[in-house]
Structure 1
Amino acid sequence: MGFTIVLGCVLSMMAFMAMGYAMAKAKLAKVEHSRTLSAFLVYCATPGMIISSFQTMCFTPEVGKKLLLFFLASLAVQLIMYGAMVLILGKRLEEGKFRILTIGSFMGNVGFFGRPLVEALFPDQPIVACYSMMFATSMNLLIFTIGEFMISRDRKYITIKRAFINPTILAVMVAIPLYLLRIKLPSGIQSIMLTLREMSAPICMFVLGVRLASMDLKDVFGQPIAYLGSALKLIAFPLLAYAIVYFMPWFDSTFKITLLITTGTPCAAVMLSLAELHDCEQKNAA
């Protein structure tokens, strides 16, 4: 049953990607359009998704504890995977493709892709959407510090300011106090936030389809390291994360399965954005 739900959810998201690809090939959508939509995702849809997820729950100390533990667990497994990759690759990290491989091994699309998956599997447990948002929060702290450092090799990017001054973290700083104080937004605003939340995954996949249409797919899929990166991100990382929490009795099954699914999401699109920004291995990032 669970496999069928996940398969259906994945196929529906693939359909949105196919729409973007087809429209781009038909000259009805351009890469320039995808940049505008990407900005909308980052600055509008993501904050709406985060705030809406927390507005669906009422605060209790037990739930608050679970969310904090999920944040810490997601941060820990990402740092463990990062440390393992650094130890394994060593001096090969001087090459851009191995730096992309390193961050791609643990940074995934936990918000736009992971949230719909866990919500489909656990439709009666709104906490799973908040779990995915806590993962997105921990990942964003790493993206704008370790992620940018790995790609650029410039330590100036490891700063508190870059870690906390970004749309995702700012949205969390709004959502968490509202959640802790049990403040519910007016129904009209909640409706807007919910609409942004539901729009996020389809738009994200549509943008991905448009971007794929602008690339030489033979060139993209002809990169051997891309298959290694996919295996690390989609198989090795989720298995590592699940193994770490599996024998910990204070984590319930929903917690563990949500961590497994969110760690197994495809590489985050922000990887390509950072690679383009720092002119580092754009093809492998794609």
Structure 2
Amino acid sequence: AIICFLCLVIAKCLNVDRKRRSLFIFMSVFGNTGFIGIPLVQLMCGEMSAFYASILEAANDILIFTFGIFIMQKASEEEKGFSLKNFLNPCFIGSVIGLILFVFQIKLPGFIAGPVEMLSSATTPVAMIVLGFQLGGLKLKDFCGDKLCYAAVLMKLVIAPLITFAVLKIWASSYPADTTLLIDMGMPVAVMSALLSQKYDNDTALATKAILISTLGLFVSVPLCTLLISLL
């Protein structure tokens, strides 16, 4: 909520239109907690933290396909209002089913688990291919002068971890849940921002630039998160 409020203030100061404002909020809130977040948490904090990171990733996915789609759709000129049917999109349903299977430790039979695992393994490469095509349409000069892009990167890599640190210091927190949350909040912009931008006719170039720059900016957020963890 704090991050969303700050995004609205920044967007107002930069005189950002409704569509780019919704994308700015999405990029500032949702990070790459799966493909990058889980391995990084495991490397920095161990197996138990990776378990917590998996739970946070499931929660992140559910929020993306509910709140994330809500703000992106609401800003779309083609959509006049929000419909509950958007909660029934395949990704949201899959996330809920996966969470239920995880919580109740339900094991799927091999003839179902095999194809599902293959589809799961294909999602990241497909997303990277789509992102690569979008990057191919950009020129080097496109990365210069976009204040909103750099504001989103700053929000995601620096401000979000600092806010999380402040909240964790105020409220009692326990290891390794606190360190996992702190690291996840400093992850790069989620790739889904580019995919949903394309779907809802938003600024795909802005999302693509923010993803690339924030991913390269991990050399800033990782040391920052390491420092903040030592101060918890």
TM-score by length of 2: 0.71
Does the 8 A contact of 1:97 with 1:281 survive in 2? yes
2:155 counterpart of 1:232:
yes
Does the 8 A contact of 1:93 with 1:99 survive in 2? no
> Match of 1:133?
58
2:185 counterpart of 1:263:
yes
User: Which SS does the other structure have where 2:95 is aligned?
Assistant: helix
Does the 8 A contact of 1:151 with 1:275 survive in 2? no
* Equivalences for residues 1-286 of structure 1 within 5 A: 79-90=1-12, 92-94=15-17, 96-125=19-48, 126-150=51-75, 152=77, 156-157=81-82, 159-162=83-86, 164-187=87-110, 189-190=112-113, 192-194=115-117, 196-249=119-172, 251-286=173-208
Per-residue CA deviation, residues 165-195 of structure 1 (Å, 9 max, x unaligned), is: 1233211332233334432223564455455
Higher RCO structure, 1 or 2 (CA under 8 Å, sep 6+): 1
Does the 8 A contact of 1:238 with 1:263 survive in 2? yes
Deviates more, 1:116-125 or 1:260-269: 116-125
User: Which SS does the other structure have where 1:183 is aligned?
Assistant: coil
> Match of 2:218?
none
* CA gap 1:268/1:244 in 2 versus in 1, 3 angstroms: same
Q: Distance in 2 between matches of 1:123 and 1:192?
A: 30
> Match of 2:228?
none
One-letter amino acid of the structure 2 residue matched with residue 252 of structure 1: S
Per-residue CA deviation, residues 114-142 of structure 1 (Å, 9 max, x unaligned), is: 23323444552234212221122123221
Query: Which runs of no fewer than 5 residues in structure 2 stay unpaired?
Result: 209-232
Q: Distance in 1 between matches of 2:11 and 2:183?
A: 26
Percent identity of paired positions between Structure 1 and Structure 2: 24
User: Which SS does the other structure have where 2:53 is aligned?
Assistant: helix
Does the 8 A contact of 2:53 with 2:184 survive in 1? no
Q: Number of residue pairs matched?
A: 205
User: Which SS does the other structure have where 2:202 is aligned?
Assistant: coil
One-letter amino acid of the structure 1 residue matched with residue 68 of structure 2: I
Does the 8 A contact of 2:33 with 2:53 survive in 1? no
Q: Distance in 1 between matches of 2:189 and 2:88?
A: 22
Q: Distance in 1 between matches of 2:81 and 2:46?
A: 43
- What value does the CA root-mean-square deviation take over the aligned residues? 3.1
Does the 8 A contact of 1:233 with 1:264 survive in 2? yes
Report the Cα offset of residue 230 of structure 1: 0.9
TM-score by length of 1: 0.59
Q: Distance in 2 between matches of 1:248 and 1:145?
A: 30
